[in-house]
Structure 1
Amino acid sequence: MSTMSAPLSPGFVNGDVSFWYRSLGLPVPGDPLGGDIEADVAIVGAGYTGLWTAYYLKKARPSLRVVVLEKEFAGFGASGRNGGWLTGALAGTPERYAKTHGPDAARRLQRSMFGAVDEVVRVAAEEGIEADIVKGGITTVARSAAQAGRLREDLAWQRDWGWTEEDVRLLPPEEMDARLRVNGAVSATWSPHCARIQPAKLARGLARAVRDLGVEIYERTPVTEIARGRAVTPHGTVTAGHVLRCTEGFTATIPGHHRDWLPMNSSMIVTEPLPEKVWDSIGWAGRELLGDMAHYYMYAQRTADDRIAFGGRGKPYLYGSKVDERGHTHAWTVDALWDLLTSFFPAVGSSRVAHAWSGVLGVPRDWCATVHVDHTTGLGWAGGYTGHGVTTTNLAGRTLCDLVLRRETELTALPWVDRRVRAWEPEPLRWLGVHSMYRLYRLADARENRGMTRTSALAKIANKITGH
C-alpha cells in the first residue's frame, strides 16, 4: 500500500478521548469518593461492563448498595472510543470454548451473543437512551482472490457451527452493489446480527440509567488496590462483599494484573460530513456495519450525521503494556487509515479527516473472554473481549449479576464462566510477539493484494506466534 498524507480539516483534533465525545462535549467528571464506605457490591471501572453489571444487579435486587469507582469519567475508555459495532461475533473462537465444555456449549454462547445484540437495543429503548442505533446488520467484503477464498471458508466454518442462512449469507453481486459499493470488492457476506451505535451516547445514557436506579458512581477515583472485601482508592476504601474488576484494556495498570490481558491499541479516523453526491456513489442506505477479510483488518460505520468512521490497528502495542490514556494517534496511522479508506471509497478523497483517536482493548493469552466470581474471596471480573466488547459487555454484565446473586441460570452455565487463561510472557517477548504478528499480517496482505489466490503463509506464521 502506498501511503498518502491525509488531508486534515481546519478544526482537526487528535485524541482528546474520541470524536464521539467531541460531538457531545466531554462530560464534567462527577464527585470522587468522599471517604470510607460500605457496599454490597463494589465495581471497579465505569465502562460498559461495569455499568451493565450495576444495571442488572439493581434491576434484580433494588435493595443492594452498588458502588462504581472510575478513574476518569463513565465511558472514558474503550466504551467511549470504539467503532460502534454492536456485533454478535464471539470474543474468541468456538473451538476453544468447546475444548472444555463441548461444541453444544460453544454454540449456546454464540446464540447468547446474537441475543445480546437485541437485548442492548431493547434496554436502550426502554430506558430512553438515544444512541443512534440502527440494526442494519454487517457486510463483510473480500477485495482479493485470497480474501474471497477465506470468506468462503469462513462461511462454511460458520455453517459447521450452526449459523443458518438467516444468520449469515453470501450476497449475490447485484445485492452487494445495491447495498454498499466498495471499490475492488469481489464478494461479500451479510449477517443481521449487528447494529450501529454511537458509543459515547450509549455510555452516557447507561450511566444516567444506573444512577436513576440508585447506583453510586464515583468519578476521578482511581483504584490502587483490589483485595478481598475491599477496593482501595486515594479518597477512601470501599468495603464490600463482592469486588468486581471491570477494567478491560486498563487491567494491566492495576498492581498484580500486569500480564493478565494485553492492552492492544486500535485507532480510528472520521471524515467530515459527506455530501449527497458522494453517498450516491457509495450507497450504504441501510447503514449496516462494514468489515473486510484482510489480516490487518478494518471496521467502519456510516454515522448518523453522514460521516464515515473508519478504524484499524495503527501502532498495536506499547512496550511494557503502557496505555496512552488520552487517545493520541500517530500521524502515520492517520495517513494509513485515510489511504485505506479512500481505496475502499475513492469518492471520499474529496473530504478530509476531522478527528483521529485511539483506544485500548483487552486481549487474553488465548484470545477468549472470561467471566468469573469467587464466592470465597468475593472477587470477580469480566473482560478480555478482543475488540468485540460493545455487545459482549452486556452478556458479561448479566452473567456477573447472576453469579453474584448465586443464581444457576443458562448464563452461568456458558463456557466462558470461570475460564482460566495463562498470563502473557514477560517483556521483551510481549512486544516482539505482537509487533512481529502485525508486521507479518501487513506483509501477508501486501502479497495477497499482488495476486495471490491463497492465504499467505506469513499470516499463518503470525497466528502461531501469539496464538491468535
Structure 2
Amino acid sequence: MTAREVSAAASERDSNRDSDRDSERDSVRGEPCWAPGDSPGDAPGRATTAAPAPRISGGLTADVAVVGAGLAGLSTAYHLIERDPSLDIVVVDARHPAAGASGRGTGLLGPRVGPAIDRAARTFGPSTARRMYLASVAAVERVVALTEELGAPCGLRAGEQIVATRGADGLASLARQAETYRALGLDVPVLSAAAIRERVDVPYHAGLLYRSAATLNPAALSGALAAACAAKGVRFHDDSPLRGLRPGSGAAPTELLFPSGTLRARKTVLAVNAAAGSLGLPVGTVLPLQVHAVATDPLGAEARAALGGATGTAVVNAMSLAPYFRLSHDGRLVVGGGRAVHLPGLSPDRAAALRTATWSWLEERLRLLHPSLADVPVSHRWSGQIGMTLDDLPVVGHVGGHPDIWYIGGCCGHGLAMSVAHGAHVAHSLVEDPSAAHGPVSYPWHRDQAPRVPLTARPARGLLRAYLSSLDRAARRTP
C-alpha cells in the first residue's frame, strides 16, 4: 500500500463516507439499555471526563496513534501504557469512546472465536482448533479480571452460557460440535432439555454448556477503560473521522489525515472494524452489518428467576440470527437477533423499515419465551454495527505490509472478549519483538487480510442481501 493509493482511496470515498456518517447519526438507531444515565454506578460510555475531548486540530505528534475508541482501541492503549508509561499515546475517534459497536452490543461475554469448533478442526487441524478455543476462554477470564483491575463493576454478572436449540438443524449442528469438543478434551458438556430447564424455564431440546462466561455492560467497560487510559496520560480526541493516511518509511512517521488537522506517529493502530472498507484499507473484506436488540423494563422476581436470575445463565440460539437472551444486572431481559442488514447502498427509508420490522419481530419472540413476559413493557430498542468476514475469523495484523501500522477488526459478533484480547496482543507486539521466543502466541486470526468480496459491484451486493434474507427466513422458522 503506497501513500498515493491510500490518499486516492480516501479522497474518492470522502463524499460517500460523509453522507453515510451523517445518515447514520441522524437515523433512529435507538438507545441501548445502558445508555449514559441508565445504569447508576456504572462508568459512562460517552467520554473519560464530563466534557468531550477536543477535535484533532493543526499538526499533532505522538509515539503511538490509536484510531477507534472502542474496546479494541482502548484495550490497545491501556495495555500499551501499562507496559511503557513513557509512551505518548493518542486515541482518536470519529465520534467518542463507545459510540460504535462497543457501546451498542448486548454484553454477552462468552468463549468461541472463528467458525464452529468442528469446522475449525477440519480447517486448521485439531491442535490449532483446541488452542483457538482455549484462547477465547482466556479472553473471557481476562475481561472479568479487568473489571476488578479497573475498579469498575461494569454490570458484571458471572454465570454460564448455553448454546441451545429447538430444531432438527440445530440439534445436528450441536451434535457435531459436541463430538469435536469431546475429541479435543475440552470441557463443553451437552445439556438435556431437563438440565436446561433447571437453569432457564424455556423449553429447548438440548444445548452445549460453556462454563467460562458472564454478562456485563459493554459501554461501561469501554468507559472504564477510557478513564483508566486518561488517568495514565493517554490523550483523547473526539469527533475526528479519519480521512486517510500516508505511511511513513524508514524513520519518517505515518501521517494521519483528519478534517481539521493531522497526526504524525511512529506507530499506528487502526481499530476501526468495519470502517476498513470505507477507508480503503487493504485488509480484505470486513462486512458492516447492522444487528438489533431490545430490552424490557426490569422484571419481577418470578420472571427473573425463570430466565436465569439465580444462575446468571445466558442463552444463545444455535441457529444464526435466531433470538438469544440474557438478564442485565438491573433485571432487564435483553434479547438480540433477527435480520442482519448490509446498509451500504440502502435508502434511509428502507433501512429504517427493516430496523423497525426486526425490533417488532424480536418483541414478538420475546413474549413467547415465557408466560411472565406476555405484558412486560419493552423499554429500549437499538441497533449496532458489527464486522463480519467471509471465513468467520477476525483480522489482527499489519496494513499493506507496513510493520508500524496495525489493523484490528472483524470479530464476527464475538467482539466483547476478543477485542480486549486483540488490543493486548497488538500492545505486546508494539513494544516487544513478536518473533522472539517470549513473543505473543500466533493464531489463525493473526493475519493481515481476510478473504476479499467485491462488494462494490451491484450484483455482489444483491447476492449478499439475498443470503442475509435467507438466514432471516430460516431464523423466523426456528421454533
TM-score (norm 2): 0.82
Of residues 446, 458, 461, the one that matches 1:431 is: 461
Give the deviation of 1:233 after TM superposition: 0.9
How far does the alpha carbon of each residue in 1:259-305 deviate from its partner, in whole angstroms, 9 at most, with x for none? 73110111000011112233354453212221112233222210111
Task: Give the distance between the partners of 1:251 and 1:399, measured in 2 at CA.
Answer: 20
Of residues 192, 207, 210, the one that matches 1:188 is: 207
AA aligned to 2:29 is G
Q: Percent identity?
A: 24
Of residues 66, 73, 79, the one that matches 2:89 is: 66
How far does the alpha carbon of each residue in 1:191-227 deviate from its partner, in whole angstroms, 9 at most, with x for none? 1122101111111111101111211111111111123
Give the deviation of 1:376 after TM superposition: 4.3
User: Is it true that 1:342 corresponds to 2:367 in the alignment?
Assistant: yes
How far does the alpha carbon of each residue in 1:31-64 deviate from its partner, in whole angstroms, 9 at most, with x for none? 2223212111111100000000011111111111
Give the deviation of 1:81 after TM superposition: 0.6
AA aligned to 1:351 is V
Task: Give the distance between the partners of 2:143 and 2:113, measured in 1 at CA.
Answer: 16
Give the deviation of 1:332 after TM superposition: 0.9
Distance 1:434 1:115, change over 3 A: same
SS in 2 for 1:305: coil
Q: Which runs of 5+ in 2 are unaligned?
A: 1-26, 248-253
Q: Name the counterpart of 1:293.
A: 318
User: Is it true that 1:236 corresponds to 2:261 in the alignment?
Assistant: yes
Task: Give the distance between the partners of 2:354 and 2:218, measured in 1 at CA.
Answer: 19
Q: Name the counterpart of 1:46.
A: 69
Give the deviation of 1:414 after TM superposition: 2.4
AA aligned to 1:432 is G
Q: Which runs of 5+ in 1 are unaligned?
A: 1-12, 450-468
Task: Give the distance between the partners of 1:199 and 1:423, measured in 2 at CA.
Answer: 30
Q: Name the counterpart of 1:420.
A: 449
Once the two structures are superposed, the pairs formed by residues 34-433 of structure 1 within 5 Å of their partners are 34-93=57-116, 102-160=125-183, 162-164=184-186, 167-182=187-202, 184-228=203-247, 229-256=254-281, 260-320=285-345, 330-373=355-398, 376=402, 378-405=404-431, 406-407=433-434, 408=436, 409=438, 411-426=440-455, 427-433=457-463
How far does the alpha carbon of each residue in 1:231-253 deviate from its partner, in whole angstroms, 9 at most, with x for none? 11123211111111101133333
SS in 1 for 2:58: coil
Aligned residues of 1:327 and 1:358 also touching (Cα < 8 A): no
Task: Give the distance between the partners of 2:346 and 2:62, measured in 1 at CA.
Answer: 32
Distance 1:145 1:106, change over 3 A: closer
AA aligned to 2:227 is R
Moved more, 380-389 or 297-306: 297-306
Give the deviation of 1:115 after TM superposition: 0.7
Distance 1:233 1:98, change over 3 A: farther
Q: Name the counterpart of 2:3.
A: none
Aligned residues of 2:160 and 2:314 also touching (Cα < 8 A): yes
Task: Give the distance between the partners of 1:259 and 1:433, measured in 2 at CA.
Answer: 18
Moved more, 288-297 or 19-28: 19-28
| RMSD of equivalent CA atoms | 2.8
Give the deviation of 1:404 after TM superposition: 1.5
Give the deviation of 1:412 after TM superposition: 4.2
AA aligned to 1:286 is T
